[in-house]
Amino acid sequence: MTVAEVRAFNRFYTGVIGVLDNAYLSSPYSLTEVRVLFELVSGTVDVKGALGLDAGYLSRILGRFERDGLITRTPSPTDARRHVVAVTDAGREVFADLDRRSTAEVAALLDRVPESDREALVAAMGRVRRILGGLPRAYLLRPLRPGDLGWVVHRHGVRYAEEYGYDDTFEALVARVVADYVERHDPAREAAWIAEVDGEPVGSVFCVRADEHTAQLRLLLVEPAARGLGIGKRLVEECVRFATRAGYRRMALETVSEVEAARGIYRRAGFEPVASAPTRKWGRDLVEETWAMALGSTRSDDRVPA
């Protein structure tokens, strides 16, 4: 079934981008020939290796380009068996025209896609490239965008129900934390971040004001599929850096003893447990913990002029 789905997608996408046409964008050249021209204009030295082309096929393409005045070929000064290929001004003009037309064609294609779906489309394309190209997974941290708050509540509810068996009162707590953040938000002293992989949210953390001197770290989450990339560590570090810059002297957080992975991240970041007590909440008997760490203030009004 997987093979059939991939083949079906290939048939669909090649039709969308016009790969089956003999001439690319109604030009005299095929898609492969235009791709070779792109590599030459980009300065690629090993075009054969970059595109995986047969040497004889590439030679025929280069011969056509030379006859059409798009390139010149001169013997290599260091190896008589090889040629140095240079793109002519005419070749660059041909490529520039095709590049402009290709950009316009893709823009017209995207015009038919609702704005809300474009990010998902691009993210899916990036995921395909990463998986099939064997590229390492990478992530980025960004501020909140519309829709993120709902995602934070939803994913906390799902994750903690599946992994720890918490009931819906836990999701209700997360919803209240998020609502309080929005209603009382002080951008100078509070912030939140979303971690993304392939354009999809996979993690979160919030830095909120507990009191004048204490920041509180809340709502740390990393999806299982994104664990192992160092996202949790990075989210906590970003939160601590922000709290330090905002002038807090201390940072605290509340957690429970069974979330071992998160507790390990907190400890490595410099937090230490300062209080614990048994409690009954979220449908479970738990040990609630408070962790804290001292911060070094870097607020401008706290610094002594040099």
- Whole-angstrom distance, CA of residue 127 vs CA of residue 137: 9
pLDDT at 77 exceeding the cut of 50? yes
The residues, any chain, with a CB within 8 Å of residue 259's CB and separated by 6 or more, are 164
How does pLDDT run across 252-287, given as a tens digit for each residue? 999 999 999 999 999 999 999 999 999 999 999 999
Instruction: Taking the CA atoms of 276, 277, 283 and 285 in sequence, report the sign of the dihedral they define.
Output: positive
Average pLDDT (229-245) is 96
- Whole-angstrom distance, CA of residue 204 vs CA of residue 152: 7
- Whole-angstrom distance, CA of residue 270 vs CA of residue 204: 19
The two tokens of residue 77 are 């000064």
Secondary structure letter of residue 225 according to DSSP: G
- Whole-angstrom distance, CA of residue 288 vs CA of residue 275: 8
How many residues in the chain? 306
| pTM given for the model | 0.69
Q: Report which of 65, 72, 70 is spatially closest to residue 93, judged by C-alpha positions.
A: 70
| Weakest-pLDDT range from 30-34, 90-94, 154-158 | 30-34
Give the chain's count of helices (H) and strands (E): 10, 9
Q: State residue 174's pLDDT score.
A: 98
Q: With DSSP H G I counted as helix, E B as strand and the rest as coil, what are the percentages for the chain, rounded to 5?
A: 50, 25, 25
Q: In this structure, are residues 182 and 190 in contact, taking their beta carbons and an 8 Å threshold?
A: no
- Whole-angstrom distance, CA of residue 144 vs CA of residue 163: 25
Q: In this structure, are residues 24 and 49 in contact, taking their beta carbons and an 8 Å threshold?
A: no
Q: In this structure, are residues 263 and 255 in contact, taking their beta carbons and an 8 Å threshold?
A: yes
pLDDT at 100 exceeding the cut of 60? yes
- Whole-angstrom distance, CA of residue 166 vs CA of residue 105: 50
Question: Tokens 């607020």 map to which residue?
Answer: 299
Average pLDDT (205-216) is 97
| Fold designation for 2-112 | Arc Repressor Mutant, subunit A (1.10.10)
Average pLDDT (204-229) is 96
- Whole-angstrom distance, CA of residue 173 vs CA of residue 154: 12
The residues, any chain, with a CB within 8 Å of residue 289's CB and separated by 6 or more, are 254, 255, 256, 257, 263, 273, 275, 276
- Whole-angstrom distance, CA of residue 222 vs CA of residue 231: 7
pLDDT at 300 exceeding the cut of 50? no
| Fold designation for 139-302 | Aminopeptidase (3.40.630)
Where are the domains positioned within the chain?
2-112, 139-302
- Whole-angstrom distance, CA of residue 60 vs CA of residue 281: 73
Q: State residue 127's pLDDT score.
A: 81
For every residue of 236-266, DSSP letters joined together read HHHHHHHHHHTT-SEEEEEEETT-HHHHHHH
The residues, any chain, with a CB within 8 Å of residue 87's CB and separated by 6 or more, are 37, 40, 41, 70, 71, 95
